[in-house]
Amino acid sequence: MGGRPKDGRRLFATVLIDLLTLSRIPLAAVFCALSLAGESLASRVALFALIALSDLFDGRLARRLAVQSALGAILDVTADLFFVTTAITTLCMLGLLPWWLPCVALLMFVEFVITSLAARRQRGERAMLWYDRVGRAVAVALYVMPLGALVLHSVLRDSAYVAVIGVSCAVVTVLAFASAALRVKKVLTSS
């Protein structure tokens, strides 16, 4: 099935993939509602898996069918941001994550967009968004943080949970700021 689809099929594939991407927004809302309602860990883990699979497959399908677009990239990052910030904020409300973690996610997103646009303008690159390894690792860590918090909270004693989550969140925060500093430095020294 590989290769580039014809125009009508290309549009259809693009729309379906964008809808798959956007499905993460209502799924994130359901994940948060289930968490606030104290629903079973299994239901929240299953929903998290569905959200993660949609994130995995939308990009792979777009690349395989050669229908990647700037809009698709923006929708993907926006859907990820919505999931990460709402899920982390919900778990903050439940006392499972520190209050400052959603701020880190939002600041990282703002920095990512600004430095991506600056790099694109400076270098005349075609890529809409500019990814770096540290930033990507932080994004993945923030993405799985809600699942990790839920699972760890169910298996660890309170003091052990607080220690593990505290260290994890601190490491993610330090790496987020390191990524931001490196990206800003690279943009400033490239001009």
pLDDT tier for residue 5 given thresholds of 50, 70 and 90: low
Under DSSP, the state recorded for 95 is: T
For position 120, what pLDDT does the model report?
Answer: 81
| Amino acid 125: pLDDT | 64
Residue 3 has pLDDT above 90, yes or no: no
Using one digit for the tens of pLDDT, what is the confidence trace for 126-160?
667 788 899 999 999 999 999 999 999 999 999 99
- Residue 145 CA to residue 54 CA, distance in Å, equals 17
Query: Which one is the CATH code of 7-190: 1.25.10, 1.20.120, 1.10.150, 2.60.40?
Result: 1.20.120
Residues 6+ apart with CB under 8 A from 95: none
> CA–CA separation, 160 vs 152, rounded Å?
9
- Selection from 110, 108, 81 nearest residue 22 by Cα: 81
Nearest to 67 by CA among 24, 23, 13: 13
